[in-house]
Structure 1
Amino acid sequence: MRKAVADLRRRIPGGGKLIVTDGPGYRVQVTRDQLDLLLFNGHIREARHAASGDRPEAAADELRAALALWRGPVMSGAGGSVVEAAGAVLEERRLGAAEQLFELRLALGEAGELIGDLRTLIAQHPLRESLRGHLILAMYRSGRQAEALAEYAKVRELLVEELGIDPSAQLTKMYEDILRASPDLAGPATRSVPVAGPPASRSPAPDAETRGSAPSGLGSSRYPTLASLHGAPCTLPPGVPDFTGRERELAEVLEACRQDAGEGPRVVAIDGMGGCGKTSLAVRTAYQLAEEYPDGQLYADLRGFTPGEKPQRPAATLGGLLRTLGVAADSIPDDEAGLIGLWRATLTGRRLLFLFDNALDAGQVLPLLPSSTECLVLVTSRARLLDLDGADWISLGVMEPEESRLMLTELLGDDRVAREPEAAAELADLCGHLPLALRLAVARLRNRPRWTVRYLVERLEDETRRLDELSAGERSVAATLSLSYKALEPELQGAFCLLGLHPGAEVDVYSAAALLETGVRDAEDMLEDLLDMHLLVQNDPGMYAFHDLVRTYALSLGEGRSGREAREADGRLLGYYTAATEAACTLLFPSRRSMHVDAPDTAYALPPMRREDRTLEWFDRESAGIQTLLARGGHEESPRLVFALARNASFHLNLRGRFAEFEAVCRAGLVATRSIGDPLLICQTLNNLGVACWKLGRLNEAVEAAEEALDWARKAGGPDDETVALGLLGIAHYALGDLASSYDYTTQAVGELKGGDRTKLPQQQAEDLNNVGTVCLALGQYEQALEAARQAIELCRAFRFPEQEALAWTTLALAYCGTCAFDEAESSLSRARNTGSSCPDEVLVLICAVSSDLCDRRGDARRSQEQEATALELLNSTISPQRRSRVDNVLALKHNRNGRYEEALRLHERAFTCAEGMGYRVEMAHALDGMAVAAGELGLPNAAQYRERADALFEAMGVPPEGRRTL
């Protein structure tokens, strides 16, 4: 400390007088003008006095002077919790001063000149809402309204993603004030007398399907009539004040409505599935724009999807609209052409807004369009009316989860939602975030005051009764969806029901063609038609999906069909997916054994399988649906297809490290092969199941499956399958600590192929040779391990098996480490890294761990640390538990070697916990061995216990002392 203070005194001008000795310590003596912090505080005080004295210019000058003292983060370069805490406090004070300065400058009439500085500060503090508010206001006052709205949308999305909250009430109010051009936002030089207009509400009006009971009049303060403002007609329906959300969509519709119309009227159309709130959004938009159309705002329900009613004819709609505009009834012609002519003549020179709600098709709307460019037409429909030329279309989906939560809070009350927040979130999910479904669910809760939210959730979890639960009086989700369904052509109705049987979350055109028993182009046309009717949704190009409630409705319609039809549809999907996965596996896994299974009908059109990356993407996307198809059974007539599909799926799931799913499809395949009774198919499925159990760490189950597979192979005379079973038994017994049996099985597997054709099962030969090397390492037989690894490398290089070659080079390196030949070990690991650079993480993580240990042995600490960091980064959930325990044990070796006993103990304990959970006795022994060393050096009382257990395990496994030096 004395040396550090002496150095400071030398380096600081006048340091001897500045830093003085004070008792047992030191003190810095500074005057008020020598310390920036004191100067900063002084300017802040003066700014406060100036502001309280109504001298804003002086207050702004003081704040500028205070902020000019800052040259970056406070005490930059220093560290420690105390310094960081102090710096955070001072940084908060600086931000507060900056916010006050921007507020003063805005009050003084500045706007555009603030935007650059505000953006810079926001980039450093993106969650600071007050800064965002200043930026939005500055943009608005600079005539950049669209950018101001976009900035609000940006901060709202950021807050939802980062914190799960909406913007503050102040920021939300500013946004709403911008949408209605509130005079309160004007700067000091442009502030004008407020003009009356329809005030903003926190939500649009409800959809026709969700409106329910609403205020009967239009004269409320929330939705005043335009007649009361201008004497012009207004027939807009009232809104429901407790409807929430849709801020982004409202801004989008308003922006579209305010764009230049060109030569005709401005037409903005909103489409979406029944119950999503189209009418509510359109009504809210109309009230927001009412002041801009002083000659009237007219509403007409075209009844395209109204229960029990036929769609409104254009002539009837025109007659009603003309009468509303004051045209005498006896002056209205009877023929449609005359009506259209009179309509357009009546609108000449007028600025009106029209809302045509619930349109069935474009034929209902086209005759109603005015010729005047001064008019605005809003249209809502469940289908996108493609013949409505020139219209701007905005599709309305379901609500965001946060909007659904706000809606439930609004309808049920804060207290009730706060008591059951998780149940409320589940309720919103089960309702599919559909406004109509949420309203109906809330109606059920209101009608049953003793019900909890959780109780209703439990009732809705039964998919067979979900639609029945989502009903109240004459309103129901099922009734709303049935109107869309009944509007379909019979062929589309049949396709809709069949698509509900598809097992995947999404449907592509190829699987749809197989399911619908039609061509790909025809299937695509039907999918597109259903998409236009919003009975399907599209999240990615070429992929189609059901909303959850729509799928439930489709399945409920399919219940009336015969079981035979459903079985036949499932059979077509089984044939298609078997053929498609066969093509995918042929490309992705060219070295796998070919199987002679009854091929499915080759008439199925298959997606292109020419590029590995796209084929793997296809497999990833379809995997869940394939597993569902296998799991739901009912394929007793096609067991060979089930076996083939399960086998193909297992290759993909093994590649992706999804071992639990790998096991599940193997068990489905095993049921099918046992029903066939073919011993070789049973044997092959059991071998695959054994691999899945091995990778899940269920070692005894792996042994059971492999032993049965070996028995079937010997009975059926299948030498290839016998070799696979022997290799699996060898590696499973190795993990269980039965090294003698493991050595016998692995050498038998290699011996089965010695002297034979090297082209026969070359990958299996390479795996068996690697297993021999692993067992020999554990037994301390390093020369045999070296020989097995060399043979594996030669085989892998001949047939290009990079994964097995990389593992063989790693085995070679470990064998060299056992003989202290570290230069040769490093050369082998270099080859392993080069060969395994594109291999899966399961291979790379072991190479990195062994490299870290070897680099440490050779004195390269920096590279050792880099390799360890990479290994730890690769230890994700796709890595098998055997590999995780082994990697932790390898990494812990060097920490023990370098005296970092706490870290070594932590890694060995983690390895032991993982290994013990599956009975992996080899790694348990190595972990206990390392724990004994670390605990002994740390003076822990359980060191002797660890040593005793490790020695007992090593002795039981027959591992000599030299076998403990490497893993």
Structure 2
Amino acid sequence: ARMFRLLGLHPGPDISAPAAASLAGVPLAEARAALRDLTRASLIIESAPGRYGFHDLLRAYAAEQAALREGRERREAIHRMLDHYLHTARRAHVVLYPGRQRVDLGRPRALVTPEGFAAKPFALAWLRAEYQVLLKIIDLAAREGFDDYVWRLTVVLWTFFDVCGHWHDGTRMHRTALEAARRCGDQFGQAHALRGLGTFEVMLGDYAQAHCCLAEAQELFRRLGDTHGLARTDLIMGQAFEFQGRHAEALAVVKEALRLSETAQDDPYMQLVRASALNGSAWYNAHLGELGQAREQCTQAIKLCQSIGYSPGEAGTWDTLGFVWQRLGDHAEATACFLRAVALEREMGSRFNLAMALAHLGDTHVSTGDLRAARQVWAEALTILADLHHPEAFEVRAKLESLNPVAL
């Protein structure tokens, strides 16, 4: 009966047994037993293996029962639930995208047991399964006045929003996070929310708004003395310039991030920044015709990424190196690099980056005369980009249409 009532606090659409255990503040075995009993009594349904939900009328009834317990019990249960999702999301991101952010979360409350992940596929599966829940949890935290959780959980999810192409959701959530951070006067939270918001404005093509958000984030990080935060924001500012075709300006901004990374070489997080800055510099140098320098920077970045286990940076740099070899006319080397990038991007669920690596691979296939292979990888890239509503879809579609169907 207590589990049924407390489940009324959960925003849905469904809940896992570990999350229910943290919500109720009981051991996992006890939570599973209660969920089984509720399922047998047809008070909840097992919507998927290990995930439980309500029929609409029963959800409303459970919410009414939960509302009758206003006060300390209700507040503490919500607090435990928020802790569960916050700390589990952080653990998933540490496995998938190490070093992308380092917000201090403190320790979870007593009786909260965050989930752990032995490998990247499990972390990615959890984020995908809980995605709609996490959006609702952030909204619930905002309604209930847990502003610290609003911006922290949003910032923790920043990379997942980005690499999986959830840019519209990321924009909305980071606006909510910025409002929450401002309400509680947390400048650190504001800086992170502004950086995330700027990231998604870049991806959605609103460059003027992106520059405003990123410039404000830079100023806040500078004022806070957060070199890591400032350098990461510089990298995104470079991307904003890149998407506008302003490669020289992008290179200048990323050089500043590289300089900042060299001032804090004892900081392991800054090693990740350095790897990303080397890759960014290589990419912009390649577009500016400095292919020898670009190739050397890629080599440095890949070695650094492999030494610290930074798969996202390694994937992006293999793609850059493939582009460099392509420009140098060595299509065999280019193909090998793009295939390594594709394999790593698939592993991390990085949809946009995967699409771009596939698009580059298709260019190389065309250069070698393998039009069937080009059509195959461009078709996959187009499917992803069209689903993301990204303007790069038009270019890939044009390439596909340019292929001679008779030759295929």
Q: Distance in 1 between matches of 2:39 and 2:317?
A: 53
Q: Is the 8 A contact 1:635 1:642 kept in 2?
A: no
Q: Distance in 1 between matches of 2:95 and 2:317?
A: 25
Alignment map for 1:110-121 (pairs within 5 Å): none
Corresponding residue for 1:660? 168
Corresponding residue for 2:102? 594
Q: Distance in 1 between matches of 2:56 and 2:129?
A: 18
**Counterpart of 1:792 in 2: which secondary structure?**
helix
Corresponding residue for 1:628? 136
The 1:768–1:590 alpha-carbon spacing in structure 2 relative to 1, beyond 3 Å, is closer
**Counterpart of 1:881 in 2: which secondary structure?**
coil
Aligned match of 1:691 in 188, 199, 221?
199
Corresponding residue for 1:834? 340
Q: How many angstroms does 1:624 deviate by?
A: 1.4
For structure 2, list consecutive stretches of 5 or more residues without a partner in the other structure. none
The 1:538–1:800 alpha-carbon spacing in structure 2 relative to 1, beyond 3 Å, is closer
Q: Distance in 2 between matches of 1:613 and 1:807?
A: 19
Q: Is the 8 A contact 1:653 1:662 kept in 2?
A: yes
Match of 2:258, as an amino acid? V
Q: What CA deviation, in whole Å up to 9, does each residue of 1:56-115 have, x standing for no partner?
A: xxxxxxxxxxxxxxxxxxxxxxxxxxxxxxxxxxxxxxxxxxxxxxxxxxxxxxxxxxxx
The 1:642–1:749 alpha-carbon spacing in structure 2 relative to 1, beyond 3 Å, is same
Q: Is the 8 A contact 1:650 1:662 kept in 2?
A: yes
Q: Is the 8 A contact 2:154 2:173 kept in 1?
A: yes
Count of matched residue positions in the alignment of Structure 1 and Structure 2: 397
Q: Is the 8 A contact 1:686 1:708 kept in 2?
A: yes
Corresponding residue for 1:849? 359
Corresponding residue for 1:562? 70
Corresponding residue for 2:275? 766
Corresponding residue for 2:37? 529
Q: How many angstroms does 1:645 deviate by?
A: 2.0
Match of 2:371, as an amino acid? S
The 1:588–1:855 alpha-carbon spacing in structure 2 relative to 1, beyond 3 Å, is closer
Bigger fraction of residues in helix: 2
Q: Distance in 2 between matches of 1:880 and 1:533?
A: 44
**Counterpart of 2:53 in 1: which secondary structure?**
coil
Q: Is the 8 A contact 2:302 2:317 kept in 1?
A: yes
Q: What CA deviation, in whole Å up to 9, does each residue of 1:836-894 have, x standing for no partner?
A: 3242343343333333333433xx32x233133222123325657255356456x36x9
> Larger relative contact order (C-alpha < 8 A, sep ≥ 6)?
2
Q: Is the 8 A contact 2:305 2:313 kept in 1?
A: yes
Match of 1:804, as an amino acid? G
The 1:887–1:764 alpha-carbon spacing in structure 2 relative to 1, beyond 3 Å, is farther
Q: How many angstroms does 1:548 deviate by?
A: 1.4
Q: Is the 8 A contact 1:504 1:625 kept in 2?
A: yes
**Counterpart of 1:807 in 2: which secondary structure?**
helix
**Counterpart of 1:604 in 2: which secondary structure?**
coil
1:603 has 2:115 as partner: no
The 1:577–1:629 alpha-carbon spacing in structure 2 relative to 1, beyond 3 Å, is same
Q: How many angstroms does 1:690 deviate by?
A: 1.9
Q: TM-score, normalised by structure 2?
A: 0.84
The 1:498–1:793 alpha-carbon spacing in structure 2 relative to 1, beyond 3 Å, is closer
Q: Distance in 1 between matches of 2:72 and 2:205?
A: 42
The 1:559–1:595 alpha-carbon spacing in structure 2 relative to 1, beyond 3 Å, is closer
1:614 has 2:122 as partner: yes
Alignment map for 1:316-465 (pairs within 5 Å): none
Corresponding residue for 2:189? 681
Corresponding residue for 1:296? none
For structure 1, list consecutive stretches of 5 or more residues without a partner in the other structure. 1-491, 902-967
Q: How many angstroms does 1:718 deviate by?
A: 1.4
Q: How many angstroms does 1:550 deviate by?
A: 1.7
Q: Is the 8 A contact 2:298 2:317 kept in 1?
A: yes
Q: What CA deviation, in whole Å up to 9, does each residue of 1:476-510 have, x standing for no partner?
A: xxxxxxxxxxxxxxxx1x54333222112222232
Corresponding residue for 1:719? 227
Match of 2:180, as an amino acid? A
Aligned match of 2:159 in 625, 631, 651?
651
Aligned match of 1:814 in 323, 330, 348?
323
The 1:764–1:879 alpha-carbon spacing in structure 2 relative to 1, beyond 3 Å, is farther
Q: Distance in 1 between matches of 2:365 and 2:50?
A: 50
Match of 1:747, as an amino acid? K
The 1:871–1:804 alpha-carbon spacing in structure 2 relative to 1, beyond 3 Å, is farther
Match of 1:845, as an amino acid? A
Aligned match of 1:793 in 287, 302, 309?
302
The 1:603–1:777 alpha-carbon spacing in structure 2 relative to 1, beyond 3 Å, is same
Q: Is the 8 A contact 1:567 1:634 kept in 2?
A: no
Q: What CA deviation, in whole Å up to 9, does each residue of 1:754-810 have, x standing for no partner?
A: 475284423322322332233334434444434433433333333344443343343
**Counterpart of 2:47 in 1: which secondary structure?**
coil
Q: Distance in 1 between matches of 2:307 and 2:67?
A: 57
Decide which structure has the larger Cα Rg and report it. Answer: 1
Q: Distance in 2 between matches of 1:851 and 1:881?
A: 19
Match of 2:362, as an amino acid? S
Match of 2:314, as an amino acid? E
The 1:588–1:844 alpha-carbon spacing in structure 2 relative to 1, beyond 3 Å, is closer
**Counterpart of 1:597 in 2: which secondary structure?**
coil
Corresponding residue for 1:328? none
Match of 1:810, as an amino acid? D
The 1:778–1:835 alpha-carbon spacing in structure 2 relative to 1, beyond 3 Å, is closer
Q: Distance in 2 between matches of 1:709 and 1:852?
A: 37
Q: How many angstroms does 1:602 deviate by?
A: 4.4
Alignment map for 1:174-323 (pairs within 5 Å): none
Q: How many angstroms does 1:709 deviate by?
A: 0.7
Q: How many angstroms does 1:558 deviate by?
A: 4.3
Q: Distance in 2 between matches of 1:509 and 1:817?
A: 50
Corresponding residue for 1:513? 21
Q: Distance in 2 between matches of 1:582 and 1:772?
A: 29
Aligned match of 2:373 in 866, 880, 893?
866
The 1:834–1:496 alpha-carbon spacing in structure 2 relative to 1, beyond 3 Å, is closer
Q: Is the 8 A contact 2:214 2:237 kept in 1?
A: yes
Q: How many angstroms does 1:608 deviate by?
A: 4.8
Q: Distance in 2 between matches of 1:608 and 1:811?
A: 33
Q: Is the 8 A contact 1:509 1:520 kept in 2?
A: yes
The 1:817–1:539 alpha-carbon spacing in structure 2 relative to 1, beyond 3 Å, is closer
The 1:751–1:884 alpha-carbon spacing in structure 2 relative to 1, beyond 3 Å, is farther
Q: Is the 8 A contact 1:505 1:545 kept in 2?
A: yes
Q: Distance in 2 between matches of 1:815 and 1:610?
A: 35
Q: Distance in 2 between matches of 1:608 and 1:753?
A: 30
The 1:756–1:578 alpha-carbon spacing in structure 2 relative to 1, beyond 3 Å, is closer
Q: TM-score, normalised by structure 1?
A: 0.38
The 1:702–1:601 alpha-carbon spacing in structure 2 relative to 1, beyond 3 Å, is same
Identical-pair percentage: 23
Match of 1:848, as an amino acid? L
**Counterpart of 2:94 in 1: which secondary structure?**
helix
Q: What CA deviation, in whole Å up to 9, does each residue of 1:603-647 have, x standing for no partner?
A: 3134453344334323322221221121132343x4333333222
The 1:715–1:522 alpha-carbon spacing in structure 2 relative to 1, beyond 3 Å, is same
Corresponding residue for 2:209? 701
Match of 1:643, as an amino acid? W
Q: Distance in 1 between matches of 2:318 and 2:25?
A: 52
Q: Distance in 2 between matches of 1:544 and 1:721?
A: 39
Q: Is the 8 A contact 2:262 2:274 kept in 1?
A: no
The 1:592–1:803 alpha-carbon spacing in structure 2 relative to 1, beyond 3 Å, is closer
